[in-house]
C-alpha cells in the first residue's frame, strides 16, 4: 500500500521518498489510520516491522494539524539510549521538510545540560528514557501539562528493565486527556496489566512475523570450568568475523572481554555503566570489523542492529524466554542465515528446558554432553 493512501501531508510524503521508504508495511497499514483517527492503540509487532514510522508519521500529521495553536507536546518513552537515538533520528528524518518542528532526544550517560538547554522554550516532540526524563522534570525543563500524546515503545522491555516505578511517576504527572500508544514485541501479562490501566478504549493491532528468521539454534552442555575454553575453540573453529556474546552482569561482561583480549581476540564489553561515547565507539568498532567479539548484557538485546551479524552465543542463559528470543534475534536479520549457540552447564539445564517449553519448540531441542577438548563442529541441536 502506498503512503499516499493515508492522505499524509506532501512534506511527509516527500521525506518518505527521500528516505527510501518503498511502501507501508503491515504494521503501518494497520496503525496509521487508527492513530490518525485519535484512538488509543495497543500494538504488538516483531522487530523490524516498521513500528517507529507507524507512529511517527501520524503524530507528525497531528502536529501539522494543530500548528499555530497553543503549544502541545508528544512524549515517546523508550528503554535504552540506543533506541532513543534511533527513534529520534527517524523522527528527524521524517520531519525534514516540516518548518520549525522542534524534536529533543534525551537519555542518560551524557551531560544533562545540553538537554536542558534544548528544552528551553518547549519542544514539539520529546524522545526520552524514563530516568533522564524524570531528571529533566525535576529541573523544571518540561511542562508535563502540555503533553497530549504519549508513546510507550518497547513496553515489554521497559517493564523488564525495571522501569515500572519510573513509569508510574511519569504517568501521574501527565494529563488524563491524551492519546496513548503502546507498542510491544510481546503481550506478556505485565504488558496487559499496564495497557489495562493506561489505555482508554484502545484499538488492538497484532502483526505476526511475515518470515521466520533463518537462525540455527545450538545448545552445548559443558562443564562450567571448561566454558571459556570451549568458547575459544568455537571462535577459532567457526572463524566468525563478528559475534555477540551475552552474559548477565556488567562485571561478567568486563571480565570476559578482558580475558578474550589476553587470548589475542579483538573483544570489548558493552553494558549500562559505559559512558555514551564509549558505547557508540564500541558498536561502531564491531560494525566496521575493528572488533570481532562484543560481550554484552541484555542492554544490547534490543535496539542494536549489526548488519549481517553471523552468530550469537549465550555464555549464560537469560532470565526469561522473551530475553532469549531478543538475544538470538540479533542474528539472522534481513533474510540472512544466523547461528545462536547456548552453553549449558549442570546448574542451568532445568532453566534451559523451561525456555524450550515456554517457546513451544516442538519436540524439544536435543543436547548432548561435550566438553571443550571434545567439541566437534556438529550442531548439537538444530532448530532452523
pLDDT digits (tens, 9 = 90+) for 25-64: 899 999 999 999 999 999 988 766 789 999 999 999 999 9
pLDDT band at 195 (very low <50, low <70, confident <90, very high): confident
Contact criterion met (CB below 8 Å) for 88 and 115:
no
Q: Both 170 and 221 in a single domain?
A: no
Q: Both 176 and 235 in a single domain?
A: no
User: Is the pLDDT confidence value at 108 over 50?
Assistant: yes
The pLDDT, as a whole number, for residue 372 is 32
pTM above 0.85, yes or no: no
Eight-class DSSP state of 369: B
- 138 within domain boundaries: yes
Q: Both 238 and 270 in a single domain?
A: yes
pLDDT band at 282 (very low <50, low <70, confident <90, very high): confident
Q: Both 199 and 228 in a single domain?
A: no
Mean pLDDT of 130-158: 93
- 382 within domain boundaries: no
Percent of the chain with pLDDT over 90: 52
Q: Both 184 and 144 in a single domain?
A: yes
**Cα–Cα distance between 304 and 285 in angstroms, integer?**
13
**Cα–Cα distance between 187 and 183 in angstroms, integer?**
9
Among residues 171, 186, 207, the one where a domain terminates is: 207
Percent of the chain with pLDDT over 70: 89
Q: Both 85 and 228 in a single domain?
A: no
The pLDDT, as a whole number, for residue 364 is 43
Q: Both 142 and 178 in a single domain?
A: yes
Instruction: Give the residue carrying C-alpha cell 578482558.
Output: 258
Among residues 189, 207, 225, the one where a domain terminates is: 207
- 380 within domain boundaries: no
Mean pLDDT of 343-366: 76
Mean pLDDT of 287-297: 90
Q: Both 183 and 274 in a single domain?
A: no
The pLDDT, as a whole number, for residue 43 is 93
Q: Residue 244, by phi and psi: left (phi above 0), alpha (psi -120 to 50) or beta?
A: beta
Q: Both 231 and 175 in a single domain?
A: no
- 383 within domain boundaries: no
Would you give the distance in Å from CA 202 to the centre of its chain? 23
Q: Which three cell numbers stand for residue 376?
A: 566437534
Q: Both 57 and 170 in a single domain?
A: yes
Q: Both 240 and 351 in a single domain?
A: yes
The pLDDT, as a whole number, for residue 381 is 35
Spell out the residues 6+ positions from residue 285 whose beta carbon is closer than 8 angstroms to its own: 268, 291
The pLDDT, as a whole number, for residue 211 is 57
Residue 294 belongs to domain spanning: 215-374
Q: In 3D, which of 292, 332, 159, 313 has the Cα closest to residue 247? A: 313
Q: How many domains does the chain have?
A: 2
Please give the sequence-ordered ranges of beta strands (E in DSSP) within the chain, or none if there are none.
Answer: 41-45, 73-77, 103-106, 125-128, 147-152, 179-184, 203-207, 215-221, 243-246, 267-270, 293-296, 311-314, 338-344
The pLDDT, as a whole number, for residue 383 is 35
Amino acid at each position: 500500500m502506498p503512503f499516499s493512501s493515508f492522505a499524509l501531508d506532501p512534506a511527509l510524503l516527500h521525506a518518505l521518498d527521500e528516505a527510501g521508504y518503498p511502501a507501508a508495511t503491515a504494521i503501518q497499514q494497520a496503525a496509521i489510520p487508527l492513530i490518525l483517527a485519535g484512538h488509543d492503540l495497543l500494538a504488538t509487532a516483531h522487530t523490524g516491522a516498521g513500528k517507529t514510522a507507524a507512529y511517527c508519521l501520524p503524530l507528525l500529521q497531528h502536529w501539522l494539524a494543530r500548528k499555530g495553536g497553543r503549544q502541545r507536546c508528544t512524549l515517546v518513552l523508550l528503554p535504552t539510549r540506543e533506541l532513543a537515538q534511533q527513534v529520534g533520528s527517524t523522527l528527524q528524518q521524517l520531519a525534514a521538510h516540516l518548518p520549525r518542528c522542534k524534536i529533543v532526544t534525551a537519555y542518560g550517560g551524557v551531560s544533562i545540560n545540553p538537554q536542558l538547554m534544548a528544552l528551553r522554550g518547549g519542544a514539539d516532540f520529546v524522545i526520552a528514557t524514563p530516568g533522564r526524563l524524570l531528571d529533566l522534570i525535576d529541573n523544571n525543563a518540561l511542562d508535563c501539562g502540555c503533553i497530549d500524546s504519549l508513546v510507550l515503545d518497547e513496553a515489554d522491555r521497559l517493564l523488564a528493565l525495571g522501569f515500572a516505578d519510573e513509569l508510574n511517576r511519569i504517568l501521574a504527572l501527565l494529563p488524563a486527556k491524551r492519546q496513548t500508544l503502546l507498542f510491544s514485541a510481546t503481550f506478556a501479562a505485565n504488558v496487559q496489566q499496564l495497557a489495562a490501566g493506561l489505555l482508554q478504549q484502545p484499538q488492538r493491532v497484532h502483526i505476526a512475523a511475515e518470515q521466520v528468521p533463518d537462525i540455527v539454534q545450538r545448545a552445548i552442555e559443558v562443564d562450567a570450568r571448561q566454558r571459556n575454553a570451549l568458547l575459544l575453540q568455537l571462535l577459532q573453529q567457526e572463524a566468525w568475523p563478528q559475534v555477540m556474546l551475552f552474559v548477565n552482569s556488567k562485571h561478567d561482561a568486563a571480565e570476559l572481554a578482558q580475558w578474550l583480549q589476553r587470548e589475542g581476540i579483538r573483544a570489548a564489553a558493552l553494558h549500562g555503566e559505559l559512558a555514551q561515547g564509549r558505547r557508540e565507539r564500541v558498536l561502531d568498532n564491531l560494525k566496521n570489523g575493528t572488533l570481532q567479539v562484543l560481550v554484552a548484557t541484555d542492554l544490547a538485546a534490543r535496539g542494536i542492529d549489526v548488519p549481517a551479524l553471523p552468530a550469537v552465543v549465550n555464555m549464560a542463559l537469560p532470565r526469561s524466554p522473551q530475553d532469549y528470543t531478543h538475544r538470538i534475534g540479533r542474528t539472522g536479520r534481513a533474510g540472512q542465515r544466523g547461528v545462536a549457540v547456548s552453553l549449558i552447564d549442570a546448574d542451568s539445564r532445568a532453566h534451559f528446558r523451561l525456555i524450550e517449553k515456554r517457546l513451544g519448540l516442538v519436540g524439544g531441542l536435543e543436547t548432548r554432553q561435550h566438553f571443550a577438548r571434545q567439541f566437534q563442529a556438529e550442531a548439537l541441536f538444530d532448530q532452523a
